[in-house]
Amino acid sequence: MSSGYGVSLAELRRHVAARPTWRCRVCAALWPCQPAKLCLRAEYARDRVGLAIYLCVLMHDAIADRLRTHPEEVDPADYFARFIGWTRH
């Protein structure tokens, strides 16, 4: 199955977060990286609310991990933009 971008969903699914850093295991970008976003958009194409709820849970986990390791570096607005904001377009 294709993502519609010339890349298979199987290949995009490899772009998962490594905890506690929340960087992509494949490309090392902050997660969700662009390939992960493409995959999530395809998987949740008919359930944008479900996508937002799923990402809210992951955002909570990412913030909790960061608070344990670098509490001074947690900016809730940045986390919202990174995990949820992009889903609204």
Query: Sorting pLDDT into bands at 50, 70 and 90, what band is 13?
Result: confident
CB 46 within 8 A of CB 54: no
Give the global pTM. 0.84
- Provide mean pLDDT across the span 6-17: 77
Kindly tell me the burial class for residue 88, based on how many C-beta atoms sit within 10 Å of its own C-beta (0-12, 13-18, 19 or more). Answer: exposed
Q: Does 31 map to a domain?
A: yes
Token look-up 């992960």 returns: 36
Q: Which positions ≥6 away from 20 have C-beta within 8 Å?
A: 65, 66, 68, 69
Neighbours of 24 (CB within 10 A): 20
3-state secondary structure of 53: helix
- pLDDT, position 11: 75
Neighbours of 15 (CB within 10 A): 21
Residue 76, domain extent: 9-88
Q: Does 2 map to a domain?
A: no
Q: What's the total number of domains in the chain?
A: 1
Query: Sorting pLDDT into bands at 50, 70 and 90, what band is 10?
Result: low
Taking only the tens place, the pLDDT of each residue in 41-86 is: 999 999 999 999 999 999 999 999 999 999 998 999 999 999 999 9
